[in-house]
Chains A and B, each alone.
Chain A
Amino acid sequence: MPDYQQHEHDVLVIGAGGAGLRAAIEASAAGVSVGLVCKSLLGKAHTVMAEGGIAAALANVDDRDSWKVHFADTMRGGQYVNNWRMAELHAKEAPDRVRELEAWGAMFDRTADGKILQRNFGGHRYPRLAHVGDRTGLEMIRTLQDHGIHQGIDVHMECTVVTLLKDGDRVVGAFGYERERGRFKLFKARAVVLATGGVGRAYKITSNSWEYTGDGHTLAYDAGADLMDMEFVQFHPTGMIWPPSVCGILVTEAVRGEGGVLKNSEGRRFMYDEIPDNYRSQTADNDEEGWRYTQGDKAARRPPELLTRDHVSRCIMREVKAGRGSPHGGVFLDIAWIKARIPSGAEHIRKKLPSMYHQFKQLADLDITETPMEVGPTTHYVMGGVKVDAETQMSTVPGLFAAGECAAGINGANRLGGNSLSDILVFGKRAGEFAAKFAKEQKAPSVDGAQVDAAAKGALEPFERGTSGEGAYQVQYALQEMMQNLVGIVRNEPEMKRALECLGPLRERAARVGVGGHREYNPGWHAALDLHSLLTVSEAVTRSALERRESRGGHFRDDYPDKDNAFGSFNFVVRKKSDGAMEVARAPIPPMPAELKQVIDEMK
């Protein structure tokens, strides 16, 4: 038997970003014991990077807003392959979740009459994003963290889970290691909530941190759960591209929400050149109207820069490919021009976008109040994830729940900016609530020692191979390069087939990875163990993308450039077959109730 520390909780939450913290708070409030595991220190999770705001139809700025409009916007953005029930719950419950944050101490920017201020964002018909300058994510995670630490939750910081443990069909715990001393930890639990975020580290250019290796996706997949919509990866249109070392770091959509415009090397606002039919009636066709929209004119339509992220990314790629890009292979994002419209405009920009100002000043030596930024698409978010029940967030495996980015459904083929912060609150709460309920109905978990032994043995193998083995970082870089080139923003069958052929040898290399040194805080070892997850999600993305022979939302194929209605009635799911191979299947979308259909029709 390997040496390990043992912990027992009613509910174990894996991941401590917004979704994990919210789930832990809710489960704890339901009176069960809760363990919260996070790969980093508490409060450092990816939520901290969210900038723009939380989408919720509070209707504080525009009283025409309501859950119905938010629901219709979310479905339109997701190209109607969303789980409509999740989109409905999300739109209805988000306002309460935001107000609850305020009751826990969050400080949002205010309207003139003292209510929570809301801002415009891509794909949202009305100003809907509750925000704090451009650091909303920090405000949110700190609020949840500071509230959560008084709830009696046991936090296991800097701890990575490598496998889930099962008793028959049911998930009964998890096994992992803590980074600090490299010791193993065994968690027994009556229910497990996955809240591990996304998969961005499978790509070379990404706004995601080292943590985003698809752990939750892979833990669920290995435990037999279905993953859904994995072909839908969101490439955020505006990442930094220069200097090289900051390539991929996010430039918030709020820059465009505050009036920033995209231009090519000819100085042309190229976003006017192609406006999708289903957004035409909502989109401004001249500079003046677009500007008025960003300044709160209710009669104006939104500028084309605020079309959905998938579309804006592709337009940028088009400009670059046509030779109209910026010197470093992107386009220009100009907020400085608003000085012509606003008295003391430079100060206004610094006030509205403080961390963007700071980020460019410090990392790129560029003053955004004077000079346009160079930006290009960056891997940002995965719409796909664990297939869950809309109400309870339980996966297809009993006792295993998922919430936030690692769960699928709410976003369909493309997520609207601002909907992830509301998603993690709404469904984090639900996952915590129903995991606690489930836990109360279960008898004590019984863990199979053989599963633990196998996991421990597997985790130590890289040390046995030592420094003569393959380098973990080199395999990771090769995978990232391959995914970026072959399964990126623009896809086609020959390239994706090549990607599948590359994955085999990469898996073999990963199996030969060796690390030196010892188990105490050894990043080489951690990188080696993350490879399994990265390879699994890369395969899931590629296989699903190959099957979807059309273009929809975040998934664009130049061999099938149009949307095909035949693909609009189901989602692709992947699951592990008994022989260990990955299978792709179709899960039909249940028919939408008449009243929701009507809402969508009314909002067209």
Chain B
Amino acid sequence: MASTATFRIWRGDAQNGRFEDYQTAVSDGMVVLDAVHQIQAETANDLAVRWNCKAGKCGSCSAEVNGNPRLMCMTRLNQLDLAKPVTLEPMRAFPLIRDLVTDVSWNFQAKKSVKKFKPRKPDAPDGTWRINQVDVDRVQEFRKCIECFLCQDVCHVLRDHHMFGEFVGPRHLVYTAALEMHPLDTESRARDLKAAHGVGLCNITKCCTRVCPEHITITDNAIIPLKERVIDQLYDPVARLFRMMRA
């Protein structure tokens, strides 16, 4: 590995910004976030970056590395071509605050709009439930989500069409799927999915699945079953008749 590398980092705020080149020493096993920290300590004390765990568990250090949405703490330098400058940019789908830090507060608002978990009555007199591991496994895939928002960043409905008011994005569809498929949950979110949450706007390009650092099969396992749920519950005349008769 080369002993120094160049990092072309976006500096600036919402009004104006530019790329600036920084050179720093690189060594065995370093990740992009290490290089950013080194640059911060050596030459750019005020370089803004979010991070916490540095182990791919908190989802704070999302950015675009050579144009690819990545966690900086899990991107090793030996996966990159260091003969050329490594470009580091903030997530482009969200408003920029400064340098590599974006305003992701919309995500926290969007999440609140999803109806909360509503469990069925406990199965046992001591107030506990009995659940099979297979039912847990299905939902645990979605619950692995670390809320890095990289899926939101690449989703064209948000990134290119800015439909933040009409579409909650892949992250919150995964969240909804986790609730809808939770073996204890009794709430129905189909109407919200169709209307306020815009599940129909997803046209299954699977960009979100490709960038997920937790390897959640977002489109196939979460979004498509939710689309089916909306159709079953709101459009299928036989199912509707059946429900009416049962009621």
Residues of A within 8 A of B (CB): 40-46, 48-49, 99, 102-105, 107-110, 113-116, 132-133, 135, 137-139, 142, 146-147, 149-150, 155, 157, 180, 209-211, 242-246, 249-250, 355, 358-359, 362-364, 467, 471-474, 477, 515-518, 520-525, 527
Contacts and interface: CB of A to CB of B under 8 A. Distances in A.
B144 interface: yes
15 contacts: A43-B147, A48-B57, A107-B140, A116-B128, A146-B117, A147-B116, A157-B108, A244-B29, A249-B54, A359-B55, A363-B74, A477-B41, A520-B97, A521-B99, A523-B46
B41 A107 contact: no
Q: A-B pairs with the 5 shortest C-beta distances?
A: A243-B29, A524-B45, A114-B130, A517-B46, A105-B117
Most-contacted residue by chain B among A137, A250, A467, A523 (CB, 10 A): A523
A132 to B, nearest CB: 7
Contact of A102 (B54, B129, B146): B129
B24 to A, nearest CB: 12
Interface residues of B, number: 59
Q: Is the interface of B mostly helix, strand, loop or mixed?
A: loop
Interface in B98-116: 98-99, 101, 103-105, 108, 111-112, 116
A525 B136 CA distance: 45
B23 interface: no
B125 interface: no
Nearest to B145: A142
Given A105-B119, A242-B29, A48 B53 contact: yes
Contact of B140 (A133, A244, A246, A517): A133
Nearest to A108: B136
Given A105-B117, A244-B29, A364-B29, A516 B53 contact: no
Contacts of A209: 51-54, 58
Given A105-B179, A249-B55, A521 B143 contact: no
Contact of A362 (B50, B51, B76): B76
A180 B97 contact: yes
A109 B133 contact: yes
Given A114-B130, A523-B40, A149 B112 contact: yes
Contacts of A515: 45-46
B31 interface: yes
Contacts, number: 170
Contact of A110 (B56, B108, B119, B136): B136
Contacts of B55: 49, 246, 249-250, 359, 363
A304 to B, nearest CB: 27
Given A114-B132, A517-B46, A132 B140 contact: yes
A115 B184 CA distance: 13
A257 B28 CA distance: 31
Given A41-B50, A104-B117, A245-B34, A521 B98 contact: yes
Contact of B28 (A150, A243, A523): A243
A49 B41 CA distance: 25
A76 B49 CA distance: 43
Contacts of A41: 50, 60, 104, 108
Contact of B45 (A157, A210, A243, A517): A517
Interface in B177-192: 179, 182, 184-185
Contact of B31 (A242, A358, A363): A363
A524 B46 contact: yes
A516 B46 contact: yes
Contact of B13 (A44, A358, A520, A523): A520
B47 interface: yes
Most-contacted residue by chain A among B31, B57, B185 (CB, 10 A): B57
B169 interface: no
